A and B are shown apart, each in its own frame.
Chain A
Amino acid sequence: MRTLLEVEDLRVDFTVGAHGRRRRLRAVDGVDLVVREGEILGLVGESGCGKSTLARTLVGLQAPSGGRISLGGDLLPRRRPAAVRKRIQMIFQDPGSSLDPRHTVREALLAPLRVHRLADGAGEEARVRELMGLVELPERLLDAKPRSLSGGQRQRVAIARALAVEPDVLVADEAVAALDASATGAILNLLADLRTSLGLTVVFISHDLSVVRGLCDRVAVMYLGRVVELGRTAEIFARPRHPYLQALLAAVPRVGAPIAAPPLEGDEPPSLLDPPSGCRFRTRCPAAFDRCVTEEPALVTRGGALVACHLADRC
C-alpha cells in the first residue's frame, strides 16, 4: 500500500508553570510514523503518553515544535491553508461537546460545505442527505439538535461532518470511549465500512485494546511521547516484544479470567517534565538492567514489527 501520511522526527513542546518557573514539557518526542493509504492505524498508550497530542498535531490543531508531516508526498506547512486543512479531519471523544448545541444536524453538516465552498443551493441539500446516508442516519433527524440524539447518533453526525469535506485521513480520538457497549460496535463497524466504501484512511486513538484489536490493521504503542512498538495488530498482540505492551495486554480484563495486576514497578508513569534517562520505560519495567539507564533503545525491526527495547531479541 502507498504511504499517505508520513511523520518524521515529530516533536511537540508545551510550556508549563508560571513566571520564573517555566519549564518545557515535550509531549511528543521524536515520533516517526507512516500511515498507509486505506489502512486503519491504531494509536495506543496510557493517558499522558502523547497520543492525543500527536493526533491534534496531525490534524493541525496543534503546531509541531519540530519535525515534518507530509501528506501524499507534500510537506505540510506549519500554518495550513484551508485546502490542506480539509484533507485531514478529526472526530472527538465526546460528540456532546464537539457539536454546537444550538445547531441542528443540517446546520452542522452545512457549515463545512460552506466554509470550504463545496456545494451551493440545491447541491447543498443533496450533499447533506448523501452524508446522512453515508453514516446511516435517517433524514428525519436533519432538523434535530444534538440534545435529542443518542450518543451513537451524535458520533455519527460528527463523522458525517468530518466526511463533508471529503478528507483523505480521518483521525478519531477515543471516538467510542464515551459510548455504551450497545452503540460502540455500530460506530466501529461504520468506520470499517467507510474505509472499504470510500477508501478512507483512519488513525484510531484508543486506550481500549480489545477494540483496537478488532478494528485496526496496524498499531503503534506510545509511552511518554515515543513509539515503543509498531506492527500489524494481529502479530504484535499475539507476540508483544516490548515489556510495556506485554503489561498492557496482560491488564486487559477478560471474561472468566482472574484479575491480573500488571507487573509494573511504582504507582505512576514518571513525569514528562523529568523523563528517565536511557529507556523511558525502565523505571516501571520488570526486566530493566544497567544498559537501560544509560542508553536509549532505538526502534529496530524484529520479525516484521518495530520495537524499542534492549531485550527485543529475548522477549
Chain B
Amino acid sequence: MAASSLEVEGLEVVTRAGVPILDDLSFRVAEGQALGIVGESGSGKSVALRATMGLPPAGTSVRAGTVMVGDRRVPAGSVTPAGVAMVFQDSFTSLDPTMRLGSYLAETVARHRGATIAAARSRARELLRDVGMTEPELRMRAFPHQLSGGLRQRAAIALALATDPRYLLCDEPTTALDVTLQARILALLKARQGAAGLGLVFVSHDIAVVSQIADVVAVMYAGRIVEIGPTATVIGSPRHPYAQALVAALPDLDRPGTRFLSIAGTPPDPSEFTAGCRFQARCGHPGTGCDQPLAGLDGRDHRHRSDCLHEDTHPAGRAS
C-alpha cells in the first residue's frame, strides 16, 4: 500500500472584494516526501500553505477546497487539520513574546500529549537539542526577543515539531537567515523527513534551496501551478518559459557570468488574472492560442509536465 499522504484539493481563496487569488489549486505530499513550491511574491504559494492550515491571510477567505490527511477529510480554511504543523518566515510572530521559550514549548507539549509539566519540559529540552541548540537549558529561559533570528527560527521549528506532526508546511523558513544557519536548518528538516518520515511542503523563491530539499518541485505563477515534476527533471530541463527563466536567472557561485539574467516585467495582480496563460505578457515567445482558458496543473500528480501550450517549440533552458 502506498504511504499515507496529505492531499489538498480544489483550493479556492478570494479577497474581500471577491477577487480570486487561488482558483482550484490541488497538491499532494506523501509521508517522508518533500514537495517544493517555487515562485515570485504574489504567486500564491504562501496563501496556499496558510489556507491549508485554516489560517488564510487577513483580508482573504477560503471559498472552496478540502484537505485530506490520510483518510480524514476536513473542509479547507476553517480548521487546522490534525497532524499538520507550519513554520513561518517570520518566527518572531509565531512565539509568544510574554513567555519564556521553555514554558511556551512545554505548554504546547503538555496540551498536545497530556503530559505532566516535568515530562513536557524534558521533551521541550529534547526538541531544542534536536533543532541544533547546544545549550537548551539556557535557551529555555530566554524570551523570544533575547534570541537571535537564527535561534528564533529554530525555536519555531521546535514548536512546530512539538505537536508530533506527520506533515510540516514551511513558508520560506530560511529566507531571513545567513547561509550557515540556512544549511543547518535544511539539514535538520531533511533528517526529519528521512528518519521520522515527515512529509514536507517547502515554499521558497530560492530554487537552489528547493533543489536541495525537495523530491518534487511545483512552479507557481499567478495563482496556478505552471510546471511540476521530479526536482532534478524540472530544474535540469524546465519546459515552461517561466520556469526556464527562473532557472536561468539563478546566480551561480561556481560559474559566474558577466551578466545577470532576469525576467522583464512584473507578475499580474490578482484583479488582472485572465483565464488564459497568465505569463504571456512577459513571455519571450508567446504563440497562438495563449488566450485559451487553462485549468492550471493538478499538483497531486507528480509526473513532469507544464501547462504551456507551446512547450515543445521553445528550446529548454532559454530565458527571455
Measured CB to CB, the residues of A under 8 A from B are 46-48, 150-153, 180-186, 188-189, 192, 207-211, 213-215, 234, 237, 247-262, 264, 266-268
* Interface contacts beyond A47-B178, A248-B180: sample of 8 additional A-B pairs, CB < 8 Å, sorted by A: A180-B41, A182-B262, A189-B259, A189-B260, A214-B260, A256-B235, A261-B183, A267-B154
Q: Quick one: closest B residue to A49, CB to CB?
A: B178
Whether B180 lies near A262 (C-beta < 8 A) is yes
Contacts of A153 in B (CB 8 A): 266
Contacts of B262 in A (CB 8 A): 181-186, 189
Measured CB to CB, the residues of B under 8 A from A are 40-41, 132-135, 148-151, 154, 178-184, 186-187, 190, 205-209, 211-213, 232, 235-236, 245-246, 249-254, 256-257, 259-264, 266
Contacts of A208 in B (CB 8 A): 251
Whether A261 lies near B178 (C-beta < 8 A) is no
Whether B134 lies near A267 (C-beta < 8 A) is yes
A-B contact pairs, 13 of them (CB 8 A): A48-B148, A180-B205, A181-B40, A182-B245, A182-B249, A184-B260, A207-B179, A208-B251, A210-B208, A251-B179, A253-B212, A256-B211, A261-B183
Whether A181 lies near B186 (C-beta < 8 A) is no
Contacts of B254 in A (CB 8 A): 254
Contacts of A47 in B (CB 8 A): 148-150, 178
Q: Quick one: closest A residue to B253, CB to CB?
A: A210
A186 to B282 CA separation, bound complex (whole angstroms): 15
Nearest 3 pairs of A and B residues by beta carbon: A185-B262, A185-B260, A182-B263
Contacts of A249 in B (CB 8 A): 253
CB distance from B97 to the nearest CB of A (A): 18
Interface centre among B134, B148, B178 (most CB of A within 10 A): B178
A255 CB contact (under 8 Å) in B180, B184, B207, B260: B207
> Given A48-B148, A210-B251, A253-B186, A150–B266 Cβ distance below 8 Å?
yes
> Given A189-B262, A247-B180, A267-B134, A252–B151 Cβ distance below 8 Å?
no
CB distance from B38 to the nearest CB of A (A): 9
> Given A184-B260, A252-B179, A253-B208, A266–B253 Cβ distance below 8 Å?
no
CB distance from A57 to the nearest CB of B (A): 22
A250 to B132 CA separation, bound complex (whole angstroms): 18
Whether A207 lies near B178 (C-beta < 8 A) is yes
Q: Quick one: closest B residue to A153, CB to CB?
A: B266
Whether A46 lies near B211 (C-beta < 8 A) is no
Whether A188 lies near B260 (C-beta < 8 A) is yes
Q: Quick one: closest B residue to A271, CB to CB?
A: B148
A253 to B256 CA separation, bound complex (whole angstroms): 15
Contacts of B182 in A (CB 8 A): 251, 253
The total of interchain contacts (Cβ-Cβ below 8 angstroms) comes to 136
Q: Quick one: closest B residue to A150, CB to CB?
A: B266
CB distance from B21 to the nearest CB of A (A): 17
A153 to B154 CA separation, bound complex (whole angstroms): 34
A253 to B245 CA separation, bound complex (whole angstroms): 19
A267 to B149 CA separation, bound complex (whole angstroms): 12
A252 to B263 CA separation, bound complex (whole angstroms): 23
Contacts of A183 in B (CB 8 A): 262, 266
Whether A180 lies near B187 (C-beta < 8 A) is no
CB distance from A11 to the nearest CB of B (A): 23
Whether B179 lies near A248 (C-beta < 8 A) is yes
CB distance from B101 to the nearest CB of A (A): 14
> Given A47-B148, A150-B266, A182-B262, A253–B249 Cβ distance below 8 Å?
no
> Given A207-B179, A266-B134, A257–B212 Cβ distance below 8 Å?
yes
Contacts of A261 in B (CB 8 A): 183-184, 186-187
A192 to B251 CA separation, bound complex (whole angstroms): 15
Whether A255 lies near B245 (C-beta < 8 A) is no
A281 to B184 CA separation, bound complex (whole angstroms): 18
Contacts of A237 in B (CB 8 A): 253
Contacts of A209 in B (CB 8 A): 179, 253
CB distance from B175 to the nearest CB of A (A): 9
Contacts of A248 in B (CB 8 A): 179-180
Whether B252 lies near A210 (C-beta < 8 A) is yes
CB distance from A97 to the nearest CB of B (A): 16
B235 CB contact (under 8 Å) in A214, A247, A255, A264: A255
Whether B41 lies near A254 (C-beta < 8 A) is no
Contacts of B250 in A (CB 8 A): 181, 210, 255
Q: Quick one: closest A residue to B266, CB to CB?
A: A150
B213 CB contact (under 8 Å) in A180, A185, A259, A262: A259
Q: Quick one: closest B residue to A215, CB to CB?
A: B260
A257 to B183 CA separation, bound complex (whole angstroms): 12
Whether B40 lies near A180 (C-beta < 8 A) is yes
CB distance from A192 to the nearest CB of B (A): 8
A180 to B187 CA separation, bound complex (whole angstroms): 24
Q: Quick one: closest B residue to A47, CB to CB?
A: B178
Q: Quick one: closest B residue to A152, CB to CB?
A: B266
Contacts of B260 in A (CB 8 A): 184-186, 188-189, 214-215
CB distance from B278 to the nearest CB of A (A): 14
Contacts of B40 in A (CB 8 A): 180-182
CB distance from B90 to the nearest CB of A (A): 13
